[in-house]
């Protein structure tokens, strides 16, 4: 049974810092991995999608890596800003298209 | 291009009642999935519909049921509501042959009292 774990559960950093969020999964037979952002009480915004054959994806200040063999992904956020404050969720997709989520990392960026 | 929309935004129901939540998929998408997100938790998969047929179900009882319509919009029905059904219900649409990238709606916040 696939399980997804995110560490840390919460993170507080000063503005301008570079930071890394971690995600691990127990079954390497994934179709893809997505990172989402969720603001309080809101839906999910897709940040990056990495297909199983890819190693990383980049979008602006965000870079996500995938190491399927070790069951790990990281989301790197460069030069963090207060507007980056949110919960970040990692999810893996099996061949059925069902997403399995981690518990999320709640990020606070202090001005 | 229209994104995923959900209605209503908020809903308050009494234990034992029934509720219907609605979702309109993003244009061009043929697959819709429903997720339940309890406070402080990651979303949990309820079920998925592909071309109007159920195509996978999570660990939810039969009182959770759904429909997908020919225009790919969808409904989630919950019967005999329980207090633990209070959660944010999220709908996600995707194009099955397009890599399964899922796009989420804003969610419906259901409170059961």
pLDDT tens, position by position, B1-16: 568 999 999 999 999 9
> How high is the mean pLDDT of chain B?
92
To the nearest whole percent, how much of chain B has pLDDT over 70? Answer: 95
Nearest neighbour of B90 by CB, restricted to A43, A98, A102: A43
- Look up residue B25 and give its DSSP letter: P
User: Stretch A53-69: mean pLDDT, rounded?
Assistant: 96
DSSP per-residue codes, chain A: ---EEEE-SEEEEETT--EEEEEEES----SEEEEEEE-TT--EEEEEEEETT-SEEEETTEEEEEETTTTEEEEEE-S--GGG-EEEEEEEE-TT--EEE---EEEEEE-
Mean predicted confidence (pLDDT) in B42-49:
95
- Pick A46's closest partner by Cβ from B35, B88, B103: B103
What digits encode the pLDDT tens for the residues A15-47? 999 999 999 999 999 989 999 999 998 899 999
pLDDT of residue A95: 72
pLDDT value of residue B95: 84
In a mutational test of the A interface, the residue from B55, B102, B103, B110 whose CB has the highest number of chain A CBs within 10 Å is: B102
What per-residue confidence (pLDDT) applies to B67?
Answer: 95
Residue of B42, B48, B101 with shortest CB distance to A89: B42
Average confidence (pLDDT) over A93-97: 79
Q: Which residues touch A48 (CB under 8 Å, ≥6 apart)?
A: A34, A35, A57, A58, A59, A62, A64, A75
On chain B, the residues whose CB falls within 8 A of the CB of A102 are: 42
């Amino acid at each position: 049974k696939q399980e997804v774990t995110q560490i840390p559960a919460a993170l507080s950093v000063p503005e301008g810092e570079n930071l890394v969020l971690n995600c691990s999964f127990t079954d390497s037979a994934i179709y893809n991995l997505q990172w989402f952002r969720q603001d309080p009480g809101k839906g999910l915004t897709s940040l990056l999608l990495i297909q199983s054959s890819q190693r990383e994806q980049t979008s602006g200040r965000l870079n996500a890596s995938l190491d399927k063999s070790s069951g790990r992904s990281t989301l790197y956020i460069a030069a963090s800003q207060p507007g980056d404050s949110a919960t970040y969720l990692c999810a893996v997709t099996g061949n059925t298209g069902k997403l399995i989520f981690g518990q999320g990392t709640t990020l606070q960026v202090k001005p | 291009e229209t994104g995923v929309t959900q209605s209503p935004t908020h809903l308050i129901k009494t234990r034992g009642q029934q509720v219907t939540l609605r979702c309109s998929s993003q244009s061009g998408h043929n697959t819709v999935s429903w997720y339940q997100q309890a406070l402080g938790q990651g979303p949990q998969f309820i079920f998925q519909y592909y071309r109007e047929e159920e195509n996978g179900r999570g660990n939810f009882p039969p009182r959770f049921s759904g429909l997908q319509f020919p225009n790919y919009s969808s409904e989630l029905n919950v019967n005999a509501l329980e207090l633990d059904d209070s959660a944010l219900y999220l709908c996600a649409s995707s194009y099955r042959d397009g890599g399964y990238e899922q796009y989420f709606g804003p969610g419906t916040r259901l409170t059961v009292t």
